[in-house]
Amino acid sequence: MKRLRFAERLVQVGFVAAVLLAWQIATTRGHLSPLFLPPLVSVYRDFVSLLASGKFWPDLRTTLYELALGFVIAAVAGTVIGYAVSRSGYSVKIFDPLFAGLYAIPAILLFPLYVLFFGIGPGSKIAMGATIAFFPVVLSTIAGLSYVNRSYVTAARSMGASPPQMFWSVMLPAALPVLLTGLRMGLILAFLSILGTETISSFSGLGHRIVELGENLDTSNMFAYILFVIAIALLLNAGLSFAEARWKEPPA
Amino acid sequence: MTCAEIHPAALRVVIIAATLLVWEFAARRFGDPLFISPPSRVAAALFGLAHQREILAAVGLTCWELIVAFVFSVVIGLAVGLIVGLSRFTRGSLYPVILLFYAVPQATILPLFVLAFGIGPASKIAFGVSHGIFPVILTVVAGARNIEPVLITTARSMGANRRQILTSVIFPHMVPSFFTGLRLGMTAVLFGVLLAELYVSQSGVGHFTTEFTQTFQPQNLFALIAVLAAIAVTLNELCRWAESRFTRWHA
Protein backbone atom coordinates (compact mmCIF):
# COMPACT_ATOMS: atom_id res chain seq x y z
CA MET A 1 0.00 0.00 0.00
CA LYS A 2 2.76 2.40 0.93
CA ARG A 3 4.65 1.58 -2.25
CA LEU A 4 1.51 2.25 -4.24
CA ARG A 5 1.17 5.72 -2.71
CA PHE A 6 4.79 6.40 -3.63
CA ALA A 7 4.22 5.28 -7.21
CA GLU A 8 1.17 7.53 -7.46
CA ARG A 9 3.15 10.53 -6.24
CA LEU A 10 5.87 9.65 -8.72
CA VAL A 11 3.39 9.69 -11.62
CA GLN A 12 1.99 13.03 -10.45
CA VAL A 13 5.36 14.68 -10.09
CA GLY A 14 6.51 13.09 -13.32
CA PHE A 15 3.48 14.36 -15.20
CA VAL A 16 3.90 17.93 -14.01
CA ALA A 17 7.66 17.79 -14.64
CA ALA A 18 7.10 16.43 -18.16
CA VAL A 19 4.67 19.26 -18.96
CA LEU A 20 7.10 21.88 -17.68
CA LEU A 21 10.03 20.27 -19.50
CA ALA A 22 8.07 20.03 -22.76
CA TRP A 23 7.13 23.69 -22.34
CA GLN A 24 10.75 24.76 -21.85
CA ILE A 25 12.07 22.64 -24.72
CA ALA A 26 9.31 23.68 -27.12
CA THR A 27 9.94 27.35 -26.47
CA THR A 28 13.73 27.33 -26.52
CA ARG A 29 14.50 24.66 -29.12
CA GLY A 30 11.28 24.41 -31.07
CA HIS A 31 9.81 26.72 -33.65
CA LEU A 32 7.11 27.98 -31.35
CA SER A 33 6.88 31.75 -31.35
CA PRO A 34 7.59 33.30 -27.94
CA LEU A 35 4.60 35.55 -28.65
CA PHE A 36 2.40 32.53 -28.32
CA LEU A 37 4.13 30.57 -25.59
CA PRO A 38 6.93 32.36 -23.77
CA PRO A 39 9.85 30.37 -22.31
CA LEU A 40 9.17 29.02 -18.85
CA VAL A 41 12.18 30.79 -17.41
CA SER A 42 11.04 34.23 -18.51
CA VAL A 43 7.54 33.58 -17.17
CA TYR A 44 9.06 32.63 -13.85
CA ARG A 45 11.22 35.76 -13.86
CA ASP A 46 8.19 37.97 -14.58
CA PHE A 47 6.14 36.18 -11.95
CA VAL A 48 8.76 36.77 -9.29
CA SER A 49 9.14 40.42 -10.23
CA LEU A 50 5.36 40.77 -10.25
CA LEU A 51 5.18 39.50 -6.68
CA ALA A 52 8.20 41.52 -5.58
CA SER A 53 7.09 44.80 -7.12
CA GLY A 54 3.54 44.55 -5.83
CA LYS A 55 2.19 46.10 -9.03
CA PHE A 56 -0.67 43.62 -8.93
CA TRP A 57 -2.33 45.48 -6.06
CA PRO A 58 -4.60 47.90 -8.00
CA ASP A 59 -6.00 45.10 -10.21
CA LEU A 60 -6.32 42.66 -7.34
CA ARG A 61 -8.09 45.30 -5.27
CA THR A 62 -10.60 45.99 -8.05
CA THR A 63 -11.37 42.32 -8.60
CA LEU A 64 -11.68 41.53 -4.90
CA TYR A 65 -13.84 44.61 -4.36
CA GLU A 66 -16.19 43.50 -7.14
CA LEU A 67 -16.21 39.96 -5.78
CA ALA A 68 -16.88 41.03 -2.19
CA LEU A 69 -19.70 43.41 -3.06
CA GLY A 70 -21.32 41.08 -5.59
CA PHE A 71 -21.12 38.14 -3.22
CA VAL A 72 -22.48 40.05 -0.22
CA ILE A 73 -25.45 41.26 -2.28
CA ALA A 74 -26.13 37.70 -3.48
CA ALA A 75 -25.64 36.16 -0.02
CA VAL A 76 -27.96 38.62 1.74
CA ALA A 77 -30.63 38.60 -0.97
CA GLY A 78 -30.39 34.84 -1.43
CA THR A 79 -30.67 33.90 2.24
CA VAL A 80 -33.39 36.47 3.03
CA ILE A 81 -35.53 35.54 0.02
CA GLY A 82 -34.81 31.86 0.55
CA TYR A 83 -35.85 32.15 4.18
CA ALA A 84 -39.05 34.00 3.27
CA VAL A 85 -39.93 31.38 0.64
CA SER A 86 -39.18 28.45 2.92
CA ARG A 87 -41.67 29.69 5.55
CA SER A 88 -44.51 27.81 3.90
CA GLY A 89 -44.56 24.63 1.85
CA TYR A 90 -46.93 26.29 -0.59
CA SER A 91 -44.57 29.14 -1.44
CA VAL A 92 -41.73 26.63 -1.83
CA LYS A 93 -43.86 24.86 -4.44
CA ILE A 94 -44.37 28.15 -6.28
CA PHE A 95 -40.92 29.70 -6.10
CA ASP A 96 -38.51 26.78 -6.05
CA PRO A 97 -39.22 25.75 -9.68
CA LEU A 98 -39.24 29.43 -10.67
CA PHE A 99 -35.73 30.01 -9.34
CA ALA A 100 -34.54 26.65 -10.70
CA GLY A 101 -35.94 27.59 -14.12
CA LEU A 102 -34.24 30.98 -14.11
CA TYR A 103 -31.02 29.26 -13.03
CA ALA A 104 -31.13 27.27 -16.30
CA ILE A 105 -30.54 30.51 -18.21
CA PRO A 106 -26.78 31.14 -18.48
CA ALA A 107 -26.47 34.37 -16.50
CA ILE A 108 -23.46 35.40 -18.56
CA LEU A 109 -25.94 36.31 -21.32
CA LEU A 110 -27.14 39.22 -19.17
CA PHE A 111 -23.70 40.83 -19.21
CA PRO A 112 -24.34 43.00 -22.31
CA LEU A 113 -27.45 44.34 -20.58
CA TYR A 114 -25.49 45.08 -17.43
CA VAL A 115 -22.91 46.95 -19.46
CA LEU A 116 -25.76 48.99 -20.89
CA PHE A 117 -27.26 49.65 -17.43
CA PHE A 118 -24.22 49.99 -15.20
CA GLY A 119 -21.45 50.93 -17.59
CA ILE A 120 -18.15 49.27 -18.34
CA GLY A 121 -16.71 49.87 -14.85
CA PRO A 122 -16.99 47.72 -11.71
CA GLY A 123 -20.79 48.17 -11.54
CA SER A 124 -21.55 45.70 -14.32
CA LYS A 125 -19.17 43.11 -12.83
CA ILE A 126 -20.69 43.44 -9.36
CA ALA A 127 -24.14 42.98 -10.87
CA MET A 128 -22.93 39.95 -12.82
CA GLY A 129 -21.31 38.35 -9.77
CA ALA A 130 -24.39 39.06 -7.66
CA THR A 131 -26.74 37.56 -10.26
CA ILE A 132 -24.75 34.42 -10.83
CA ALA A 133 -24.17 33.80 -7.09
CA PHE A 134 -27.77 34.52 -6.10
CA PHE A 135 -29.25 31.31 -7.52
CA PRO A 136 -27.14 28.68 -5.74
CA VAL A 137 -27.57 30.63 -2.49
CA VAL A 138 -31.35 31.00 -2.73
CA LEU A 139 -31.88 27.42 -3.93
CA SER A 140 -29.72 25.93 -1.20
CA THR A 141 -31.34 28.14 1.45
CA ILE A 142 -34.77 26.89 0.39
CA ALA A 143 -33.54 23.30 0.21
CA GLY A 144 -31.73 23.51 3.55
CA LEU A 145 -34.52 25.17 5.52
CA SER A 146 -37.47 23.30 4.07
CA TYR A 147 -36.02 19.83 4.52
CA VAL A 148 -35.11 20.18 8.18
CA ASN A 149 -36.10 16.97 9.92
CA ARG A 150 -39.68 17.52 11.14
CA SER A 151 -39.07 15.65 14.38
CA TYR A 152 -36.49 18.28 15.44
CA VAL A 153 -39.08 21.00 14.94
CA THR A 154 -41.79 19.06 16.76
CA ALA A 155 -39.45 18.25 19.61
CA ALA A 156 -38.33 21.87 19.98
CA ARG A 157 -41.90 23.13 19.83
CA SER A 158 -43.11 20.65 22.44
CA MET A 159 -40.33 21.86 24.69
CA GLY A 160 -41.67 25.40 24.29
CA ALA A 161 -39.13 27.02 21.92
CA SER A 162 -40.02 30.58 20.86
CA PRO A 163 -39.86 31.42 17.11
CA PRO A 164 -36.42 33.11 17.40
CA GLN A 165 -35.14 30.17 19.42
CA MET A 166 -36.59 27.83 16.86
CA PHE A 167 -34.75 29.64 14.08
CA TRP A 168 -31.36 30.10 15.74
CA SER A 169 -31.13 26.83 17.65
CA VAL A 170 -32.97 24.37 15.41
CA MET A 171 -33.54 25.51 11.83
CA LEU A 172 -30.25 27.28 11.18
CA PRO A 173 -27.88 24.64 12.59
CA ALA A 174 -29.79 21.91 10.75
CA ALA A 175 -29.76 23.79 7.45
CA LEU A 176 -26.20 25.09 7.75
CA PRO A 177 -24.36 22.37 5.79
CA VAL A 178 -26.57 22.80 2.72
CA LEU A 179 -26.53 26.58 3.09
CA LEU A 180 -22.73 26.70 3.26
CA THR A 181 -22.45 24.54 0.15
CA GLY A 182 -24.66 27.04 -1.68
CA LEU A 183 -22.63 30.00 -0.43
CA ARG A 184 -19.39 28.33 -1.45
CA MET A 185 -20.68 27.56 -4.92
CA GLY A 186 -21.99 31.11 -5.22
CA LEU A 187 -18.62 32.60 -4.28
CA ILE A 188 -16.75 30.44 -6.79
CA LEU A 189 -19.23 31.17 -9.59
CA ALA A 190 -19.07 34.88 -8.78
CA PHE A 191 -15.27 34.84 -8.92
CA LEU A 192 -15.23 33.02 -12.28
CA SER A 193 -17.88 35.25 -13.82
CA ILE A 194 -16.22 38.42 -12.57
CA LEU A 195 -12.90 37.33 -14.11
CA GLY A 196 -14.75 36.40 -17.29
CA THR A 197 -16.63 39.67 -17.58
CA GLU A 198 -13.47 41.65 -16.84
CA THR A 199 -12.02 39.78 -19.78
CA ILE A 200 -14.96 40.68 -22.03
CA SER A 201 -14.97 44.40 -21.37
CA SER A 202 -13.52 46.41 -18.53
CA PHE A 203 -11.17 49.21 -17.54
CA SER A 204 -9.46 47.47 -14.66
CA GLY A 205 -9.17 44.26 -12.72
CA LEU A 206 -7.11 41.10 -13.13
CA GLY A 207 -9.10 39.78 -16.09
CA HIS A 208 -8.68 43.08 -17.88
CA ARG A 209 -4.94 43.19 -17.18
CA ILE A 210 -4.44 39.74 -18.70
CA VAL A 211 -6.31 40.68 -21.87
CA GLU A 212 -4.41 43.94 -22.14
CA LEU A 213 -1.03 42.21 -21.82
CA GLY A 214 -2.19 39.63 -24.38
CA GLU A 215 -3.24 42.31 -26.84
CA ASN A 216 0.11 44.06 -26.39
CA LEU A 217 1.77 40.69 -27.09
CA ASP A 218 3.54 40.86 -23.74
CA THR A 219 2.84 37.16 -23.30
CA SER A 220 5.50 36.48 -20.70
CA ASN A 221 3.93 39.02 -18.34
CA MET A 222 0.50 37.74 -19.28
CA PHE A 223 1.45 34.23 -18.18
CA ALA A 224 2.86 35.67 -14.96
CA TYR A 225 -0.53 37.30 -14.27
CA ILE A 226 -2.34 34.07 -15.18
CA LEU A 227 -0.17 32.23 -12.65
CA PHE A 228 -0.99 34.92 -10.13
CA VAL A 229 -4.75 34.53 -10.68
CA ILE A 230 -4.45 30.76 -10.42
CA ALA A 231 -2.65 31.21 -7.10
CA ILE A 232 -5.44 33.52 -5.90
CA ALA A 233 -8.07 30.98 -7.00
CA LEU A 234 -6.27 28.18 -5.15
CA LEU A 235 -6.01 30.34 -2.02
CA LEU A 236 -9.71 31.17 -2.24
CA ASN A 237 -10.56 27.49 -2.61
CA ALA A 238 -8.33 26.47 0.29
CA GLY A 239 -9.81 29.20 2.48
CA LEU A 240 -13.33 28.06 1.65
CA SER A 241 -12.56 24.42 2.36
CA PHE A 242 -11.04 25.44 5.68
CA ALA A 243 -14.03 27.61 6.63
CA GLU A 244 -16.47 24.93 5.57
CA ALA A 245 -14.70 22.23 7.57
CA ARG A 246 -14.72 24.46 10.64
CA TRP A 247 -18.33 25.59 10.33
CA LYS A 248 -19.76 22.23 9.46
CA GLU A 249 -18.47 20.67 12.64
CA PRO A 250 -21.49 19.96 14.77
CA PRO A 251 -21.50 22.26 17.81
CA ALA A 252 -20.31 20.12 20.66
CA MET B 1 -56.09 29.12 3.19
CA THR B 2 -57.97 30.09 0.06
CA CYS B 3 -54.77 30.56 -1.87
CA ALA B 4 -53.77 26.96 -1.15
CA GLU B 5 -56.54 25.91 -3.51
CA ILE B 6 -54.84 27.52 -6.50
CA HIS B 7 -52.37 25.21 -8.17
CA PRO B 8 -48.76 26.38 -7.61
CA ALA B 9 -48.04 26.21 -11.34
CA ALA B 10 -50.99 28.48 -12.09
CA LEU B 11 -49.82 31.02 -9.54
CA ARG B 12 -46.35 30.82 -11.07
CA VAL B 13 -47.76 31.82 -14.44
CA VAL B 14 -49.60 34.70 -12.76
CA ILE B 15 -46.36 35.89 -11.12
CA ILE B 16 -44.48 35.78 -14.42
CA ALA B 17 -47.30 37.61 -16.21
CA ALA B 18 -47.44 40.23 -13.46
CA THR B 19 -43.69 40.77 -13.69
CA LEU B 20 -43.93 41.31 -17.44
CA LEU B 21 -46.84 43.74 -16.95
CA VAL B 22 -44.97 45.75 -14.30
CA TRP B 23 -41.92 45.79 -16.57
CA GLU B 24 -44.08 46.94 -19.50
CA PHE B 25 -45.66 49.81 -17.58
CA ALA B 26 -42.53 50.85 -15.69
CA ALA B 27 -40.46 50.87 -18.88
CA ARG B 28 -43.04 52.93 -20.76
CA ARG B 29 -43.68 55.33 -17.90
CA PHE B 30 -40.26 55.83 -16.30
CA GLY B 31 -37.69 54.02 -18.43
CA ASP B 32 -35.21 55.73 -20.68
CA PRO B 33 -35.82 54.23 -24.15
CA LEU B 34 -32.07 54.29 -24.75
CA PHE B 35 -31.54 51.77 -21.96
CA ILE B 36 -34.63 49.72 -21.39
CA SER B 37 -37.38 48.36 -23.58
CA PRO B 38 -40.85 47.16 -22.60
CA PRO B 39 -41.51 43.48 -23.42
CA SER B 40 -43.93 44.39 -26.20
CA ARG B 41 -41.23 46.29 -28.06
CA VAL B 42 -38.76 43.45 -27.49
CA ALA B 43 -41.25 41.01 -29.00
CA ALA B 44 -41.65 43.30 -31.99
CA ALA B 45 -37.87 43.54 -32.35
CA LEU B 46 -37.72 39.75 -32.37
CA PHE B 47 -39.52 39.70 -35.70
CA GLY B 48 -37.25 42.42 -37.03
CA LEU B 49 -34.16 40.40 -36.11
CA ALA B 50 -35.59 37.28 -37.73
CA HIS B 51 -35.29 39.03 -41.08
CA GLN B 52 -31.64 39.97 -40.71
CA ARG B 53 -29.56 37.29 -42.31
CA GLU B 54 -26.30 38.11 -40.49
CA ILE B 55 -27.94 37.80 -37.09
CA LEU B 56 -29.58 34.51 -37.99
CA ALA B 57 -26.21 33.26 -39.22
CA ALA B 58 -24.50 34.35 -35.98
CA VAL B 59 -27.12 32.66 -33.80
CA GLY B 60 -26.98 29.53 -35.95
CA LEU B 61 -23.20 29.47 -35.68
CA THR B 62 -23.42 29.75 -31.90
CA CYS B 63 -25.81 26.76 -31.82
CA TRP B 64 -23.36 24.80 -33.93
CA GLU B 65 -20.46 25.73 -31.64
CA LEU B 66 -22.47 24.70 -28.58
CA ILE B 67 -23.31 21.30 -30.03
CA VAL B 68 -19.81 20.56 -31.32
CA ALA B 69 -18.24 21.70 -28.03
CA PHE B 70 -20.68 19.54 -26.10
CA VAL B 71 -19.95 16.45 -28.21
CA PHE B 72 -16.19 16.95 -27.87
CA SER B 73 -16.53 17.50 -24.12
CA VAL B 74 -18.50 14.30 -23.70
CA VAL B 75 -16.22 12.15 -25.86
CA ILE B 76 -12.96 13.46 -24.38
CA GLY B 77 -14.38 13.63 -20.88
CA LEU B 78 -15.67 10.08 -21.05
CA ALA B 79 -12.37 8.74 -22.40
CA VAL B 80 -10.28 10.53 -19.78
CA GLY B 81 -12.77 9.68 -17.06
CA LEU B 82 -12.64 5.98 -17.92
CA ILE B 83 -8.85 5.93 -18.05
CA VAL B 84 -8.60 7.70 -14.72
CA GLY B 85 -11.57 6.09 -13.03
CA LEU B 86 -11.27 2.41 -13.89
CA SER B 87 -8.00 1.59 -12.17
CA ARG B 88 -7.09 2.42 -8.64
CA PHE B 89 -3.57 3.39 -9.64
CA THR B 90 -4.52 5.93 -12.31
CA ARG B 91 -7.21 7.28 -10.03
CA GLY B 92 -4.76 7.84 -7.22
CA SER B 93 -2.10 9.34 -9.44
CA LEU B 94 -3.94 11.30 -12.14
CA TYR B 95 -7.10 12.44 -10.36
CA PRO B 96 -5.28 15.11 -8.30
CA VAL B 97 -3.64 16.38 -11.50
CA ILE B 98 -7.07 16.77 -13.09
CA LEU B 99 -8.39 18.57 -10.01
CA LEU B 100 -5.40 20.89 -10.26
CA PHE B 101 -6.32 21.77 -13.86
CA TYR B 102 -9.94 22.17 -12.84
CA ALA B 103 -8.93 24.77 -10.26
CA VAL B 104 -7.53 27.03 -12.99
CA PRO B 105 -10.06 29.75 -13.82
CA GLN B 106 -10.27 29.25 -17.58
CA ALA B 107 -11.57 32.78 -18.14
CA THR B 108 -8.03 34.03 -17.56
CA ILE B 109 -6.66 32.00 -20.46
CA LEU B 110 -9.38 33.00 -22.91
CA PRO B 111 -6.98 35.34 -24.73
CA LEU B 112 -4.69 32.33 -25.29
CA PHE B 113 -7.51 30.43 -26.97
CA VAL B 114 -8.06 33.34 -29.31
CA LEU B 115 -4.32 33.58 -29.99
CA ALA B 116 -4.17 29.87 -30.76
CA PHE B 117 -7.43 29.32 -32.63
CA GLY B 118 -8.28 32.74 -34.04
CA ILE B 119 -11.54 34.63 -33.67
CA GLY B 120 -13.64 32.04 -35.53
CA PRO B 121 -15.70 29.15 -34.21
CA ALA B 122 -12.60 27.06 -33.36
CA SER B 123 -11.58 29.21 -30.39
CA LYS B 124 -15.12 29.25 -29.00
CA ILE B 125 -15.48 25.50 -29.38
CA ALA B 126 -12.10 24.92 -27.73
CA PHE B 127 -12.96 27.28 -24.89
CA GLY B 128 -16.33 25.57 -24.41
CA VAL B 129 -14.62 22.16 -24.34
CA SER B 130 -12.15 23.42 -21.75
CA HIS B 131 -15.15 24.12 -19.51
CA GLY B 132 -17.24 21.11 -20.44
CA ILE B 133 -14.82 18.22 -20.02
CA PHE B 134 -14.29 18.66 -16.28
CA PRO B 135 -17.81 17.93 -15.05
CA VAL B 136 -17.92 14.90 -17.37
CA ILE B 137 -14.54 13.58 -16.15
CA LEU B 138 -15.42 14.14 -12.50
CA THR B 139 -18.80 12.40 -12.69
CA VAL B 140 -17.45 9.48 -14.74
CA VAL B 141 -14.67 8.97 -12.19
CA ALA B 142 -17.17 9.29 -9.34
CA GLY B 143 -19.44 6.76 -11.05
CA ALA B 144 -16.62 4.27 -11.47
CA ARG B 145 -15.54 4.71 -7.88
CA ASN B 146 -18.93 4.31 -6.24
CA ILE B 147 -19.52 0.76 -7.45
CA GLU B 148 -20.22 -1.47 -4.51
CA PRO B 149 -17.41 -4.03 -4.23
CA VAL B 150 -19.97 -6.72 -3.42
CA LEU B 151 -21.40 -6.44 -6.93
CA ILE B 152 -18.02 -7.10 -8.50
CA THR B 153 -17.25 -9.88 -6.04
CA THR B 154 -20.60 -11.49 -6.80
CA ALA B 155 -20.06 -11.31 -10.55
CA ARG B 156 -16.59 -12.76 -10.17
CA SER B 157 -17.78 -15.58 -7.95
CA MET B 158 -20.33 -16.43 -10.62
CA GLY B 159 -17.49 -16.81 -13.06
CA ALA B 160 -17.57 -13.51 -14.95
CA ASN B 161 -14.31 -12.54 -16.60
CA ARG B 162 -12.91 -9.02 -16.52
CA ARG B 163 -14.62 -8.02 -19.76
CA GLN B 164 -17.98 -9.30 -18.63
CA ILE B 165 -17.64 -7.49 -15.34
CA LEU B 166 -16.86 -4.30 -17.24
CA THR B 167 -19.80 -4.50 -19.66
CA SER B 168 -22.40 -6.06 -17.38
CA VAL B 169 -21.62 -4.58 -13.98
CA ILE B 170 -19.44 -1.50 -14.17
CA PHE B 171 -20.82 0.27 -17.24
CA PRO B 172 -24.51 -0.09 -16.33
CA HIS B 173 -23.65 1.12 -12.88
CA MET B 174 -22.01 4.27 -14.28
CA VAL B 175 -24.97 5.30 -16.43
CA PRO B 176 -26.79 7.53 -13.91
CA SER B 177 -23.75 9.55 -12.92
CA PHE B 178 -22.74 9.79 -16.58
CA PHE B 179 -26.02 11.50 -17.42
CA THR B 180 -25.61 13.83 -14.47
CA GLY B 181 -22.21 14.64 -15.95
CA LEU B 182 -23.83 15.39 -19.32
CA ARG B 183 -26.17 17.90 -17.71
CA LEU B 184 -23.40 19.62 -15.73
CA GLY B 185 -21.18 19.52 -18.82
CA MET B 186 -23.85 21.28 -20.86
CA THR B 187 -24.11 24.04 -18.26
CA ALA B 188 -20.34 24.50 -18.38
CA VAL B 189 -20.21 24.41 -22.19
CA LEU B 190 -22.91 27.10 -22.35
CA PHE B 191 -20.89 29.31 -20.01
CA GLY B 192 -17.67 28.79 -21.96
CA VAL B 193 -19.02 29.21 -25.49
CA LEU B 194 -21.21 32.19 -24.64
CA LEU B 195 -18.40 33.89 -22.71
CA ALA B 196 -16.08 33.46 -25.69
CA GLU B 197 -18.81 34.65 -28.07
CA LEU B 198 -19.30 37.82 -26.03
CA TYR B 199 -15.53 38.35 -25.75
CA VAL B 200 -14.86 38.27 -29.49
CA SER B 201 -16.57 41.44 -30.62
CA GLN B 202 -15.35 41.41 -34.22
CA SER B 203 -17.72 38.69 -35.36
CA GLY B 204 -20.61 36.47 -34.33
CA VAL B 205 -23.07 37.17 -31.55
CA GLY B 206 -20.54 39.27 -29.60
CA HIS B 207 -20.34 41.67 -32.52
CA PHE B 208 -24.08 42.32 -32.42
CA THR B 209 -24.35 42.61 -28.64
CA THR B 210 -21.53 45.15 -28.67
CA GLU B 211 -23.12 47.04 -31.56
CA PHE B 212 -26.59 47.12 -29.97
CA THR B 213 -25.10 48.32 -26.67
CA GLN B 214 -23.02 51.05 -28.24
CA THR B 215 -25.77 52.31 -30.51
CA PHE B 216 -28.41 52.16 -27.77
CA GLN B 217 -30.85 49.69 -29.30
CA PRO B 218 -32.02 47.93 -26.13
CA GLN B 219 -35.00 46.32 -27.86
CA ASN B 220 -32.68 44.44 -30.23
CA LEU B 221 -30.24 43.59 -27.44
CA PHE B 222 -33.04 42.19 -25.25
CA ALA B 223 -34.45 40.24 -28.19
CA LEU B 224 -31.09 38.71 -29.16
CA ILE B 225 -30.38 37.74 -25.55
CA ALA B 226 -33.87 36.26 -25.22
CA VAL B 227 -33.26 34.08 -28.29
CA LEU B 228 -29.93 32.85 -26.92
CA ALA B 229 -31.47 32.25 -23.50
CA ALA B 230 -34.24 30.19 -25.13
CA ILE B 231 -31.64 28.08 -26.96
CA ALA B 232 -29.68 27.60 -23.74
CA VAL B 233 -32.75 26.60 -21.75
CA THR B 234 -33.78 24.13 -24.47
CA LEU B 235 -30.36 22.46 -24.43
CA ASN B 236 -30.38 22.39 -20.62
CA GLU B 237 -33.83 20.88 -20.53
CA LEU B 238 -32.88 18.20 -23.08
CA CYS B 239 -30.02 17.14 -20.82
CA ARG B 240 -32.22 17.24 -17.74
CA TRP B 241 -34.81 15.11 -19.55
CA ALA B 242 -32.16 12.60 -20.59
CA GLU B 243 -30.89 12.50 -17.02
CA SER B 244 -34.28 11.77 -15.50
CA ARG B 245 -35.08 9.32 -18.29
CA PHE B 246 -31.92 7.26 -17.82
CA THR B 247 -31.57 7.48 -14.06
CA ARG B 248 -35.15 6.51 -13.24
CA TRP B 249 -34.48 2.78 -13.03
CA HIS B 250 -31.71 3.46 -10.59
CA ALA B 251 -32.82 3.54 -6.98
CATH class entry, domain B37-247? mainly alpha
Whether residue B237 lies within 8 A of chain A, CB to CB, comes out as: yes
Residue B173 to chain A, least CA–CA distance (Å) = 26
The one-letter amino acid at A113: L
pLDDT at position A252 is: 41
Residue A39: what pLDDT? 84
Closest partner residue to A226 (CB to CB) among B109, B194, B222 is: B109
What are the pLDDT digits (tens) for A210-251?
Answer: 888 888 888 889 889 988 998 888 888 888 888 877 776 654
- Give the whole-angstrom CA distance, residue B191 versus residue B133: 13
- Domains of chain A, earliest start first: 52-248 (1.10.3720.10)
Minimum distance, in Å, between the CA of residue B160 and any CA atom of chain A = 27
Residues A116, B218: C-beta atoms closer than 8 Å: yes
The predicted pLDDT at position A3 comes to 64
CB contact under 8 A, A12 and B212: no
Proportion of chain B above pLDDT 70, given as a percent: 96
- Chain A nearest CA to B151, separation (Å): 23
Mean pLDDT of A178-198: 90
pLDDT score for B85: 85
Q: Is the pLDDT of residue B5 over 70?
A: no
Higher pLDDT pick, B3 / A45: A45
Would you state the pLDDT for residue A180? 87
**What integer pLDDT is reported at residue B204 of this predicted model?**
81
Chain B residues 41-70 within an 8 A CB cutoff of chain A: none
Q: Tell me what the mean pLDDT of segment A33-46 comes to.
A: 82
| Residue A5 to residue B96, Cβ atoms within 8 A | no
Q: Which long-range contacts (CB under 8 A, 24 or more apart) does A111-117 make?
A: A111/A197, A111/A200, A111/B198, A112/B198, A112/B209, A112/B210, A112/B212, A112/B213, A112/B221, A112/B225, A113/B218, A113/B221, A113/B222, A113/B225, A115/A201, A115/B213, A116/B35, A116/B213, A116/B216, A116/B218, A116/B221, A117/B35, A117/B36
Cβ of residue B14 closer than 8 Å to a chain A Cβ: no
C-alpha distance from B40 to closest chain A C-alpha (Å):
17
Instruction: Give the pLDDT confidence of B66-105 residue by residue, as tens digits.
Output: 999 999 999 999 999 998 888 888 888 888 888 888 878 8
Q: Are residues B20 and B39 in contact, defined by beta-carbon separation less than 8 angstroms?
A: yes
Per-residue confidence (pLDDT) for residue A79, from 0 to 100: 93
Q: Is B218 on the interface with A (CB under 8 A)?
A: yes
Q: How high does pLDDT run on average in chain B?
A: 86
Q: B110–A199: do the CB atoms touch at under 8 Å? A: yes
Confidence at B2, pLDDT banded by 50, 70, 90:
low
Residue A81 is predicted with a pLDDT of 95
Do B233 and A97 count as a contact with CB atoms less than 8 A apart? no
A204-208, long-range: CB < 8 A, 24+ apart: A204/A58, A204/A59, A204/A62, A204/A121, A204/A122, A205/A59, A205/A62, A205/A63, A205/A66, A205/A122, A205/A125, A206/A56, A206/A59, A206/A60, A206/A62, A206/A63, A206/A232, A206/B108, A207/A63, A207/B107, A207/B108, A208/A59
pLDDT at B251: 44
The minimal CB distance from B8 to the residues A90, A214, A230 is found for A90
Compute the distance between CA of residue A24 and CA of residue A10 in angstroms, rounded to an integer: 21
Compare CB distances from A111 to B12, B15, B198 and report the shortest one's residue.
B198
What mean pLDDT is predicted for residues B192-209? 86
Cα B2 from chain centre: 40
User: A231 to chain B: nearest residue by CA?
Assistant: B104
Distance CA A181, CA A176 (A): 8
Q: Is the pLDDT of residue A67 over 50?
A: yes
How far apart are the CA of A160 and the nearest CA of chain B, in angstroms? 26
Q: Note the pLDDT of residue B1.
A: 47
pLDDT of residue A2: 59
Ranked by mean pLDDT, which of A1-15, A66-80, B51-65, B106-120 comes out on top?
A66-80
Optimal mutation site among B36, B108, B215, interface A, most CBs of chain A within 10 A: B108
For residues A142-149, average pLDDT:
85
Contact of B105 with chain A, judged by CB distance below 8 Å, is answered with yes
The tens digit of pLDDT for each residue in A73-106 reads 999 999 999 999 988 888 888 888 889 888 888 8
What's the rounded mean pLDDT across residues A6-34? 82
Q: What is the pLDDT of residues A117-137, one digit of tens each?
A: 898 889 999 999 999 999 999
User: Is pLDDT of B133 > 90?
Assistant: yes
How confident is residue B138, by pLDDT bands cut at 50, 70 and 90? very high
DSSP classification of residue A217: T
Using one digit for the tens of pLDDT, what is the confidence trace for B152-172? Answer: 888 888 888 888 888 888 888
Q: Please report, for chain B, the start and end positions of each structural domain, with discontinuous segments joined by +.
A: 37-247
